[in-house]
Amino acid sequence: MVDDGSTDGMSEQIAKRFGDRVRVVRQPERRGKGAAIRRGVLETRTEWLLFVDADLSIPIEEIRLLEPRSGEAPVVIGSKRAPGSDVKYPKARRFLGGIGQSLISLFVVSGFHDTQCGFKLFRTDVARELFAAQKIDGFGFDFEVLFLARRLGHRVIEVPIRCEHQIGGTVRLSTYVTVLREIGSILWNRVRGVYPRR
């Protein structure tokens, strides 16, 4: 568990309740979802790791669709937009998400139906390589990591999944504005030669 600078005492409660079954890693200040996941990836000790959004809008059982493809690629991602997916989202969110995905395809990385799906399976050695190179601390880490996977020559397989909107999620209209800024940050990082090459 990565505690991203929280002040509510949750990490202490987790450590107390689960003891040595859960390793708690604390960041001194809040930096964002991308930074927390990067820290978690770099601390992971297993051969494979799975990202799953905490609201479980994508049922954990969908791992059965990703795992069989892991022999073909070190990165297997769920997709809410690929043909065959089953998504129950409000129309406004689907519309805004579609615009965001179009911009990501145009300016960052193309060839994916859905870069933002919170259900991704990585071989850990490849995940460490990608996350050690990524810079975005916010939601844009998703498409930045896929951009890096392509840039560094790692195959990525996209698998349609089922997903249902959950009330109380963290995606807001402001999230889409932030993603636009993060697209700009990635473009600027490319111009400055920040990212490694294959």
Q: pLDDT value at position 172?
A: 59
Q: Which domains does the chain have, with CATH numbers?
A: 46-191 (3.90.550.10)
Q: pLDDT value at position 166?
A: 65
Distance between CA atoms of 88 and 79, rounded to whole angstroms?
A: 13
β pairing state of 25-27 and 86-88: unpaired
**What residues contact 186, with CB distance under 8 A and at least 6 apart?**
107, 108, 135, 136, 140, 143, 144, 147
Q: Quickly state the pLDDT bin for 165 (edges 50, 70, 90).
A: confident
Lowest-pLDDT range, 2-6, 14-18, 89-93, 184-188?
89-93
Segment 70-121, tens digit of pLDDT: 999 999 999 998 999 888 877 777 777 788 889 999 999 999 999 989 899 9
Segment 135-155, tens digit of pLDDT: 999 889 999 999 999 999 999
- The answer to whether 79 touches 119, Cβ cutoff 8 Å, is no
Q: pLDDT value at position 53?
A: 87
- Torsion sign across C-alpha atoms 31, 36, 42, 43: positive
Task: Scan for tokens 């990635």, then name that residue.
Answer: 186
The full DSSP string for 32-78 is -HHHHHHHHHHH--SSEEEEE-TT-SS-GGGHHHHGGGTTT-SEEEE
Q: pLDDT value at position 64?
A: 96
Give the residue ranges of DSSP H helices in the chain.
10-18, 33-43, 63-66, 91-107, 124-133, 141-151, 173-191
β pairing state of 156-160 and 75-79: parallel
To the nearest whole number, what is the mean pLDDT of the chain? Answer: 90
Task: Scan for tokens 């996941």, then name that residue.
Answer: 37
User: Which tokens is 151 given?
Assistant: 């840039």
Lowest-pLDDT range, 24-28, 53-57, 194-198?
53-57
